[in-house]
Structure 1
């Protein structure tokens, strides 16, 4: 893809777009009623910034960084429709919104493809934009995303997310390694518990790293797991 001198719409304008933010908030409310972790604008912004930072550290083009940030911010808007198949409905919504905002159709298609492939049940990394989105999304594991305040009633996903005291994603461009470092409260969740719940996501991250020409490594409480 050729580097473009100026974008039709900025990432900051996407973040302030009323329609996009209404869909994010509606999706977050829907998931809250269903007992899922937080999927608010805070998660959207974190995924966007992380995706952009991954590509920046790997020396990717500014345009790919720009596309990854937009995909990251919009990736969960499909939850406003239904959690089931939210990646696919979100991709369709995103394409129509971006087309209406007069983003070049090629760019809208790349973003829609990344969103449509970000869920581990049906998707996989297909290019650098989708790879960055997947890595940023699947490694956003943190205690404050758990909305259930009654520990005794935690399901497996609540327990694993609540156990994550810290989660850090780092990129070593020289060694071409993308590494996730987890600190887990082992009174809440063992490393085996984490793998039982998130194995498919970690395999997806490994595939995404490979698309970026990197190896994916995971450590938990200082122990190397992959």
Structure 2
């Protein structure tokens, strides 16, 4: 039987790497990259492909890639996409996954970080979109607003974040508190990510749009 998402989510080995990677990122001052982030990315990557008419198996591969995509942070934040892809190869091969499906998953993982990312196929495109649109106030670990850096402010200001797939457009709809984060702050941090989302949407035959506080920005 093909490897399925539930097996991946129940793997203590994979979950240990997710947990320990997040501990490392916490020590470095990064936002949450634990099970909440993995779960959201996994679910949304699958949902995007299913909504666009891709088959269930392709959507499940995207979900698996989404759950595993950040495990490389256990090695180092730098080049974590590539180290994570290599780790995923070993894990999935050991679990008996089919080589062509392993290839699809590790290609997506290895191409998800904006420094080196490119939406080389539909699964990679869905993973990029799901990952880069996860803007949430509860990803911020720092509980002292006075000491927030720009990344903390951008995420903490997000009071609502939704991704909608409709009428040929993949829309990221945000409601942000501009008393915490200005639109300029948002674009300073996220411009490269939004450009990457635009490329990813294009691979899926869609356009990408960003709406903040009811105003279309892209």
Normalising by structure 2, we get a TM-score of 0.99
Alignment equivalent of 2:75, drawn from 61, 76, 81? 81
The corresponding residue for 1:191 is 183
Distance 1:215 1:8 in 2: 33
Deviation at 1:121, TM superposition (A): 0.6
Alignment equivalent of 2:211, drawn from 219, 222, 225? 219
RMSD: 0.7
Q: Does 1:132 align with 2:126?
A: yes
Total equivalences in the alignment = 218
The corresponding residue for 1:38 is 32
Unaligned runs of 5+ in 2: none
Aligned pairs for 1:1-226 within 5 A: 7-172=1-166, 175-226=167-218
Distance 1:93 1:109 in 2: 13
Deviation at 1:79, TM superposition (A): 0.6
Distance 2:14 2:168 in 1: 34
Deviation at 1:197, TM superposition (A): 0.7
Normalising by structure 1, we get a TM-score of 0.95
Distance 2:141 2:89 in 1: 30
Deviation at 1:161, TM superposition (A): 0.5
Distance 1:53 1:110 in 2: 17
Deviation at 1:62, TM superposition (A): 1.2
Unaligned runs of 5+ in 1: 1-6
